[in-house]
Amino acid sequence: MGISSKQLKLFKSFSPEAKKRLIKMGWSDKVSNKEIEKEFGLNANQLEKYMRFELSSGDFKRWMTRRHKKFNLKSKKAANIKNS
């Protein structure tokens, strides 16, 4: 599950402003993975690897927990709509 040299090169090619924006978008509840992919060219798996690369281990764990909770909430809402 390591980072390939191609991905590492891509991650390092981002400007400091782009890195800040990407991390901010990754933390945001209002920004979807599709928006991040459109702007930065990173899919959900690549975003996860990027966040692991940039964040401290504690911050990364908090981000993953938050990400999974956000995904589960969306899934539950979608299930409630289908069952209604």
Lowest-confidence region among 11-20, 28-37, 40-49, 71-80? 71-80
Residue with tokens 């191609």: 6
Assess contact for 14 and 22: CB atoms under 8 A: yes
In the numeric block, which tokens belong to residue 49? 């690897």
pLDDT at 30 over 60: yes
Cα 16 from Cα 54, distance rounded (Å): 11
CB atoms within 10 A of CB 60: 15
Assess contact for 18 and 60: CB atoms under 8 A: no
The pLDDT mean for the chain works out to 85
Res 40: pLDDT: 93
